[in-house]
């Protein structure tokens, strides 16, 4: 049986070496000739992977690739796994598969690997990240799925992906943004830098609209977000909601807002000299039951 242990022992490459020995895109290039069996499969025997992190495909880019495939064929095999006797699930290479169909090709080269669900998601995410093909929200959602479905910590995730822990944390904060801001990010009206700055804003939706209307850059957005946060803290103090000790760090405020948006309940984080407290505020027993059920899901 072809398992992930063999390439692991060879110690090839970085990043994917923890899973497959090296980046998916370089499997054939760097491994000894003949060590990775390549076969061809009819396009109708393949189906998109359920762990594909990409939600949107650029149709114009697929047509461009299809034109190239008509001339040269599919040069890089797709990575797939068997799902039953006649069908295979695509782990890496769905864009090539779509382009091959647009090019009226009947078969594509594939590498068949035995992968469990965690490895399938990790490989699909990493392959797209290495190609820089994912949108910021697709990347962030991929990180979230790896943590939620397979119990990765941010530190473990960063190590496997070859990213810094701060990058993983900052990208995941984008998931806490309100839907109107996410829509502007997905449409390209806001960059990932703008979105990260908006996480700390008191009213991210209003500020996002202002950024788009005025064409503000990331530095200007960060400044306005900080000003909004400072005004919000002053209002809280004026209303009798003063914060004991030092003024709360903007990162903590951003984390509170992200967690509140993700779980749908108010979250308060209080930093102390060592560690701190995280408080989830609920209004009904049904809300408490829901939180307990979600935390004990696994």
Query: Is 58 in a helix, a strand, or coil?
Result: coil
Q: How confident is the model at residue 101 (pLDDT cuts 50, 70, 90)?
A: very high
More confident residue, 255 or 6: 255
pLDDT in the model for residue 46: 94
Tokens 């996480």, residue located: 199
Query: What is the mean pLDDT of the segment spanning 133-160?
Result: 79
Q: How confident is the model at residue 14 (pLDDT cuts 50, 70, 90)?
A: very low
pLDDT in the model for residue 49: 83
Vertex 209: Cα angle to 208 and 212 (nearest 5): 90
pTM for the full model?
Answer: 0.57
Q: Is the pLDDT confidence value at 185 over 80?
A: yes
Strand bridging mode 266-271 / 39-42:
unpaired
Whole-angstrom CA distances from 242 to 228, 246, 248, 274 are: 17, 10, 10, 22
What CA–CA distance (Å, rounded) separates 140 from 131? 16
**CATH 3.90.1530.10 occupies which residues in the chain?**
5-134
Strand bridging mode 88-92 / 39-42:
unpaired
pLDDT tens digits for range 68-90: 999 888 888 888 999 887 899 99
Neighbours of 70 (CB within 10 A): 14
Q: Which of these, 16, 33, 34, lies nearest to 25 by C-alpha position?
A: 16
Query: What is the mean pLDDT of the segment spanning 107-125?
Result: 84
DSSP strands (E only) in the chain: 39-42, 46-47, 78-82, 88-92, 107-112, 266-271, 276-281
Q: What is the CATH architecture of 5-134? A: Alpha-Beta Complex (3.90)
The residues that are catalytic are: 94
Q: How confident is the model at residue 234 (pLDDT cuts 50, 70, 90)?
A: low
């Amino acid at each position: 049986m072809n398992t992930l242990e063999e390439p692991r022992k060879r110690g090839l490459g970085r990043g994917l070496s923890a899973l497959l020995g090296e980046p998916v895109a370089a499997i054939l290039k760097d491994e000894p000739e003949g060590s990775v069996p390549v076969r061809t499969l009819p396009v109708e025997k393949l189906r998109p992977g359920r762990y594909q992190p990409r939600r949107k495909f650029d149709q114009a880019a697929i047509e461009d690739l299809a034109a190239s495939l008509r001339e040269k064929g599919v040069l890089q095999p797709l990575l797939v796994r068997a799902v039953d006797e006649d069908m295979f699930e695509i782990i890496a290479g769905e864009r090539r598969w779509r382009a091959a169909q647009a090019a009226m090709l009947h078969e594509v080269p594939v590498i068949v690997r035995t992968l469990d669900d965690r490895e399938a998601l990790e490989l699909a995410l990493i392959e797209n990240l290495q190609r820089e093909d994912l949108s910021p929200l697709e990347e962030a959602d991929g990180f979230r799925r790896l943590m939620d479905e397979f119990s990765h910590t941010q530190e473990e995730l960063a190590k496997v992906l070859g990213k810094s822990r701060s990058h993983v944390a900052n990208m995941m904060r984008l998931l806490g943004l309100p839907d109107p801001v996410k829509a502007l990010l997905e449409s390209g009206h806001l960059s990932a830098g703008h979105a990260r700055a908006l996480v700390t804003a008191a009213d991210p939706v209003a500020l996002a609209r202002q950024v788009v209307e005025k064409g503000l850059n990331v530095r200007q957005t960060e400044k306005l977000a900080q000003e909004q946060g400072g005004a919000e803290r002053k209002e809280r103090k004026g209303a009798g909601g003063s914060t004991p000790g030092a003024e709360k760090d903007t990162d903590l405020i951003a984390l509170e807002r992200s967690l509140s948006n993700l779980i749908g309940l108010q979250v308060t984080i209080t930093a102390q000299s060592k560690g701190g407290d995280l408080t989830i505020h609920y209004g009904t027993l049904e809300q408490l039951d829901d939180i307990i059920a979600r935390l004990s899901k696994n």
